Structures are given as C-alpha cells and as structure tokens.
Amino acid sequence: MDSASQSDRTACDDPPLIVDMDGALLRTDTTFEALAQGIFVRPTATLFALTALFSGRAAFKRRIAEIAPIDIDVLPLRTEFVDHLAAERRRGRKLHLVSGSDDAVVQKVAKRVGLFDSAQGSTEKRNLKGAAKALLLDERFGAYSYAGDSPADLKVWSRAQGVVLAGASPSTARRARRLGAPIEAEFSDPPVSWRNWAASLRLHQWSKNVLLFVPLLLSGHFRDPQTLLACALGFLLLGLTASGSYILNDLSDLSADRRHRSKRNRPFAAGAIKVYQGLLVAPTLIVAGLIGAYVLSPTFAGVLLIYLVCTLTYSLRLKAIPFVDVMMLAWLYTLRLLMGVTLAHTIASEWLLTFSMMFFFSMSLAKRYVEISATDPDQKQIARRGYQPSDAPLTMAFGVSCTVASLLIMTLYLMDEAFPSGVYRQPSALWFVLPVIGLWTMRIWLLADRGELDEDPVSFAVHDRISLALGGALAAAFGYAVFG
C-alpha cells in the first residue's frame, strides 16, 4: 500500500520512521559506488584498502570512502519514496537516516535530501547492519518503524512496530510480511529486464563488429565453411569481450553519465542494475571472451587483447584528451579489421587500413561534434572530456576533411588492389562504392550540423532507413562484382 491508503493517524501517534540508505533511499549502494570509482581512479590504493577487511567491514567502508569520494549530488534517489518521506514529515513525523554505510557518506546524503532529524552511519568500530543496527535502534528509540530493502533488515523489522518496504525483492518482502508488523507502505522496483542488460551490454554496438567479416569478403575466402565459422565465432567472442568493456566504461563514468541529459538513463547510472552486478559480470565476460579467443586462434586472441587494453585505456584516460580520443576510436575500428585478417588467413591491405583510420576518425568526430554543439556555451569544459564549446567548428573542419580523404584513399584502394586482385568477375561494379559512402557520410555530417544525430553514426545506421537502403545497395553492388 502507499501513503495515500494509510489511516489518518495524528503525528504524535506515529513512532519515528527509521530509514535505511543503500538500496532503499538510494537506488544504489554507496560502498560499491566508491569501490568501483576507486578501481578506476586509484586502483593501487583500492587494492590495498582490501586489507582493511581484516579489521572489519566498517573499517573497509571508511577506507574506501576516503580513497574514492563519490558524487553525492547525483546519486539516484528512490523518488517516490522520498515523496512519501516528505509527506510524513509534513504530518510532523520524526525521520531518522540510519545506514550501514560510512558515517561521513550518510551525513552528506542526509544533507542533500534535507528531510531527516538525524543521520547516523557506520564508524570504524561499529558496522550498523542487521543485528547491530537493531540493537542500536532499540537503544536510541525503543519503538519505531523501519524502512529498508535487504534480507539483513529482517532482524530490524522483527523488532519494529511498522514496516516500510523500499526496493525490497519479492522474497524479502514476503519474509517481512510474515513477521507480523503492519506494512505501512511499499515501494517496489520493476524486475531487471533483458532490455536493461541489453542496453548495458550494448548489444546494438555489436553491429560495429561486422567489420571483422570485411577481410573475409574482400579476400574471397567466404567460400570456405571453416574460415566462415571461425569468423562467426570470432564475432561472438569479440562481442562478449567488448560488452564487458562497455560495462566497465559505464561504471567508470557513473558521475558524468548522471549529469548528462540522456546518459543518466543508462541502467547503471539510473540504478536499474546494481553496481556490484556490473563488477561481477564485466570480468566474467572479458575472461570468457579471451579464453575462447585463445582456443580459436592465439593470434586472434593477441589482437583481441590489444583491443581490450586500448578500450580500457580510452575509458580511463584517453577519452579526456581532445582528438586523441577520436583517434583511439578510429584505431579500435581498425583493430576489428585486423582481427578479421587473422581469422580469414589473408594479408592486411595497407590501403584498407588507412581508409579505416581516416573514415572512422571522421565518424568519431561527427559524434563528438554533436556533443560539443549541444553543450551550454557558458560551460567552460565538457564533463570527462577535454573539449570546450568553442571547439565545435574545428571538429567539423577536421571531420569533413577526413571524410574527403577517406574517399580518395578508397579510390586508390580500388585501383591499386581490388581491381587487379582477380576476386571480382565484374570489378567495375565496385565504383558504386564511392558515391554510396560519399552520400552516407555527407548525410551524417548534415544531421550532425543540424543537431539531429544523437548517437554514434555506426549505431545510428543500424536503425536508419536511408542508411539501411544505402547499405543494401552497397551489398548488391558488391554481390554483382563478385558473382555477376
């Protein structure tokens, strides 16, 4: 039931409401938030902080809070629960925030929310969770109602006069109801859906990995079933590894994403998927991808490892350096081609690799141009980026010029390698590649200049009808060149 369905008791008849913070007031856990930030910002210090566990969980919470202070102002609140608390406070009810998180963090969250009569968290000597929290509440308040979410809160609810379920799982909620105390209010989370995980794994970004098949097609080795199967498995393993790195990127960018107009809705930033789940799933995907890649081909595994290192380096450091960031993105696209080269057992074309660097450098600049153009002109610098709003014209100039350069390189590739290769029965059909790529890139920059390109150009192409039509025409021309 919600607050509107409660009886009209007077404020003096209500026991104080004690509120848990992590998972209840907040849709996230501040200790795991600090741990994730520490891993990316101060990895060595975070590793040594684990030794504090020998002194107890409270000591570890204090240490990790000192190493990696989190951005309190953007932590996702359980807004409907906060509204309920505000209504209770207007009725005159006393509200107290008591959490197992470090006391310094609890005080900051309480100050941000501004509804609590007092706030208390764990200290180095006392971890306020489960039985320890129940004992404290008995000592301080005697009679009270309690709002929480975790199985550890069952020991508190067993002594409380009233129960508020805020973010509790169905199993925890059932166990809480069996305790006998009245349920004052309930605020449940929708179950984590496959859409949440699909968004976090960036399954739509797997479309970029189709580049792995390009060397297979251009070499003519696609007629060999074994080679085709190897490339298909490589595509899957690359996707798993990349998805793991995308999760790590989201975890490293939590604060910046929460301040972004659209990225704040990402599952980890919004609290739809818990941070600890990301910390478990990401390494699992990465390790599985690398082991599978090594079994498939040690050379492929080596290139995949380079891709992973570059991706993580980009996420942790290089994304904040202007133009180096987009150069790294272009290199990551090119590495996908090199993975395809290793699996297709062909020779890397210098023309093709150069085209890839120029083309994807341009497309990456298009994405960055949109981000820069959408920034408030009064803002000095974009969060977690090295760009300023005034850099927009320069990024467009470099991007458009690189697009033109990529078309010239493609022309030289066709004349110098593709036509003489003997792979194509009708090589003249390949000339159709140039106007198609030219039209598509011109449209991308037109949309970018209009502010209508709200995502990565490659991802945009997957669900854009005109892009799909041009891609179909390109595939038809290539098919005619090979089989015509």
**3-class DSSP string for the chain:** CCHHHCCCCCHHHCCCEEECHHHHHECCCHHHHHHHHHHHHCHHHHHHHHHHHHHCHHHHHHHHHHHCCCCHHHCCECHHHHHHHHHHHHCCCCEEEEEEEEHHHHHHHHHHHCCCCEEEEEECCECCCCHHHHHHHHHHCCCCEEEECCHHHHHHHCCCCEEEEECCCHHHHHHHHCCCCCEEEEECCCCCCHHHHHHHHCHHHHHHHHHHHHHHHHHCHHHCHHHHHHHHHHHHHHHHHHHHHHHHHHHHCHHHHHCCCCHHHCHHHHCCCCHHHHHHHHHHHHHHHHHHHHHHCHHHHHHHHHHHHHHHHHHHCHHHCCCHHHHHHHHHHHHHHHHHHHHHCCCCCHHHHHHHHHHHHHHHHHHHHHHHHCCCCCCCCCCCCCCCHHHHHHHHHHHHHHHHHHHHHHHHHHHHHHHHHCCCCCHHHHHHHHHHHHHHHHHHHHHHHHCCCCCCHHHHHHCCHHHHHHHHHHHHHHHHHHHC
The residue out of 187, 220, 254 marking a domain boundary is 187
Both 125 and 269 in a single domain? no
The residue out of 171, 187, 203 marking a domain boundary is 187
Both 199 and 183 in a single domain? no
Mean pLDDT of 294-315: 94
Both 100 and 230 in a single domain? no
CATH number assigned to the domain comprising residue 304:
1.10.600
324 has pLDDT over 50: yes
10 has pLDDT over 70: no
Residue 138's Cβ-count burial label (10 Å; 0-12, 13-18, 19+) is: middle
Both 163 and 229 in a single domain? no
Pairing state between β 183-187 and 145-148: unpaired
Split into its structural domains, the chain has a count of 2
Mean pLDDT of 162-175: 95
Instruction: Identify the domain containing residue 273 by its residue range.
Output: 194-483
In this prediction, residue 382 carries a pLDDT of 66
Both 131 and 258 in a single domain? no
Both 279 and 145 in a single domain? no
pTM listed for this prediction: 0.85
In this prediction, residue 66 carries a pLDDT of 92
Q: Are 289 and 237 in contact (CB under 8 A)?
A: yes
CA 152 to CA 144: how far, in whole Å?
17
Range with lowest mean pLDDT among 279-288, 302-311, 372-381, 443-452: 372-381
Residue 384: pLDDT band by 50, 70, 90 thresholds?
low
Query: What value, to the nearest 5°, has the Cα angle with vertex 264 and ends 263 and 267?
Result: 90
The most confident of 36-50, 145-159, 343-357, 443-457, by mean pLDDT? 145-159
Range with lowest mean pLDDT among 340-354, 382-396, 435-449: 382-396
347 has pLDDT over 90: no
Average pLDDT over the chain, rounded to an integer:
90
Query: What value, to the nearest 5°, has the Cα angle with vertex 437 and ends 434 and 441?
Result: 135
Both 29 and 49 in a single domain? yes
5 has pLDDT over 60: no
Mean pLDDT of 158-169: 95
318 has pLDDT over 60: yes
CATH number assigned to the domain comprising residue 71:
3.40.50.1000
Both 121 and 38 in a single domain? yes
Both 334 and 363 in a single domain? yes
Both 249 and 132 in a single domain? no
Amino acid occupying residue 417: E
Edge-to-edge, what's the strand order for the sheet holding 17-19? Answer: 118-122, 95-102, 17-19, 145-148, 162-166, 183-187
Both 411 and 312 in a single domain? yes
CA 314 to CA 449: how far, in whole Å?
26
CA 368 to CA 327: how far, in whole Å?
12
Residue 6: pLDDT band by 50, 70, 90 thresholds?
very low
Both 180 and 205 in a single domain? no
The residue out of 165, 187, 209 marking a domain boundary is 187
In this prediction, residue 15 carries a pLDDT of 94
Residue 279: pLDDT band by 50, 70, 90 thresholds?
very high
